[in-house]
Each structure stands twice: as C-alpha cells, then as structure tokens.
Amino acid sequence: MTASAKDTVLSIRDVVVRYETTDGGEITILNGVTFDIRRSETLVIMGGSGCGKSTLLNCLIGEIEPSAGSITYNLPELGEVDIAKADEQTRDALRKRFGILFQSGALFSSLTLAENVALPLREHSHVEKDIIDIVVTMKLQQVRMLPHRNKYPAQLSGGQKKRAGLARATALDPEILFYDEPSAGLDPVTSTAIDELMMDLSRKLQVTSVVVTHEMDSAFRIADRMVMLEQGVILRIGPRSEFETLRDADPAKLASSDDRLIRQFLNGAATGPLTDAEGMSEYEKILVGEQSVH
C-alpha cells in the first residue's frame, strides 16, 4: 500500500446511482462520482437542491446501493471493505466504526438525553452499566450538555438537539463522523457554535468528518477540503483556499463555465450559469418538482 493509500480512509470510485421513473424511463442521480476522503480531514460536500449530495451520503453509509462503482473503507480493524458489496455482518461491523449526526438530531422522544446517548453502547457493546454511565457523562460533557442529561428531546432547543445527537454519534468512539446538514434550522449564532463544536471534536478525537451542507458560511468555517456537486457529477474538489479564490474572483475573468457556476453558488448570486434559462432546463425541473433528486 502506498503512503497516499494509507492516508485514505474512504475511496469512492465511479459511483453511479440510477432509478426507474414512473413512466418506465430512467433517471441518473449520481454519474461516475470519484474521489478520496483522507484520514482526519474535514471534507465538505456541497451543491444546490437536487444535486445528489444526500444520495451520495446515503451511499457512503450503506443505505443506498449504487448501480455501479465502489465505496471502499480502509479501517485498521477491518482492512479494506467495499460497503456496497459487503455482507450484512460486515456492514454492521463497519457501521459501528462511524457515527452520523442527522439533520433533525433523530433523538428518540421517549428516552432522556442520557438514555439516547447510552443506546449505541447498550446495543453494540458488552460493557457494564457503570461503565456506560461514565462514557455517557464524558460524551455529554464534550458537547456541553451534561446539565441536561435527564431532559427529554421535547425539552431541548434545536441547537441542544444537535449537540445531543453529536454526543450519541460519538458514543462508540467512531473513526468517521458523517454530518447531514448540521446547520439546518439554526440561527447564525447557534450555527457558529455547532461548527466550533464540530471542529473541537475533530481535533480532540482525531476523527475524519464528512459534512453535507449547502450553508456556505458553515462550509468555509469548517472545511479542509470541499467537493462541489452539480446534477450528479463532481465539478470541483480541492482545498478550501481554492474555493475561497473562486468565491472572491471577478466572474468576468473566469473562462470556465464550471468556475462561473461554482462562484455563483458560493456567493448565492441571482445571475449566472445556474439560473441561465438555456442552461437550467434540468435544474428548473428539479425546482418545480418535475424531477425528484436528493
């Protein structure tokens, strides 16, 4: 294995996702997606509504099986495993090595915060109750939610639910954390606080973080590298500085239509390739609901 391969925790190669439509046709959601995720980095996957980023996330966690391609994890205890081709036992072992913070927090309403965080430990470990209680205390302390351990989700604010979800996602000390729109539904101050917490945990736990978002302020705060998806293909992958340069560039001086499109998205500009009538036929179909892409 080369040095670069040792640094790669997840390798995505030529991933294609297709679905049949109600009229007997076929729609391609992801089309030949290829990139690597490096150990201990924070990678942000971004793009507009319907670009395929949620579908890609579901492929990475094994919830969607690609029509073609491979998604290979490289973890010390398991070696190289293609989650798309692994048997269910191997997939279960693999899923214990990553945590997921869902957009809503996805807490169980009938359980207290402490019970929610303890759940993965009770389901997937063989440690004693006293040890579980200690781990839960540590995880809640990490996200600054320990005073709320006996509250139920209905008693928590949106930001507190995200913190609680993050505590549960880290309960089994995962090597990879996946975040699905972590800033969604939060005010700017709370969003910044969640971003800072994510960065703090990444440093302390030395985990790889994969963040799916369309919130640009958040993306530029947390990313080491960024991936831009559009209509199921990767337009650009590179360090944050590369996207910062594009964001701040004069659009008249950008020769590439892809660069102009990315710049428009990063700035939330009303005019550009994304909203040109001639180039927007598929995008407009998504926006008006004629085509469902996630």
Structure tokens at 284: 């407009």
pLDDT number for residue 185: 79
pLDDT of residue 3: 42
List, in order, residues 6 or more apart from 149 with CB less than 8 Å away: 112, 113, 114, 136, 137, 140
β-sheet with 225-230: strand ranges across? 98-101, 176-180, 208-212, 42-46, 225-230, 233-239
Direct distance between the N- and C-terminal alpha carbons of the chain, in angstroms, rounded to an integer: 35
Residues in the chain, how many?
294
250-288 residues labelled b (16+ CB within 10 A) or e (exposed): eeeeeeeeebbbbbbbbeeeeebbbeeeeeeeebeebee
Q: DSSP characters for 217-228? A: HHHHHH-SEEEE
User: Residue 292 has what pLDDT?
Assistant: 47
Quote the pLDDT of residue 289: 46
Q: Is 2 exposed, middle or buried (0-12, 13-18, 19+ CB in 10 A)?
A: exposed
What pLDDT was estimated at residue 280? Answer: 47
pLDDT in tens, the chain (294 residues): 344 556 899 999 999 999 988 888 889 999 999 999 999 999 999 998 888 999 999 999 999 999 999 999 998 878 899 998 888 888 888 888 899 998 766 788 899 999 999 998 888 877 888 899 999 999 999 888 999 999 999 999 888 998 999 999 999 889 999 999 888 878 889 899 899 989 988 888 889 999 999 889 999 999 999 999 999 999 999 999 999 999 999 988 998 889 999 999 999 888 888 777 444 444 444 444 444 445
In order of their start, the domains of the chain are 3-97+174-287 (3.40.50.300)
Whole-prediction pTM: 0.86
% helix, strand, coil for the chain, step of 5: 40, 25, 35
- CA–CA separation, 248 and 131 (whole Å): 51
**Can you give the pLDDT at residue 5?**
59
Question: What is the reported pLDDT for 2?
Answer: 42
- Return phi, psi of residue 258, to 5°: -65, -45
**What pLDDT score was predicted for residue 4?**
57
Nearest to 45 by CA among 145, 182, 186, 152: 182
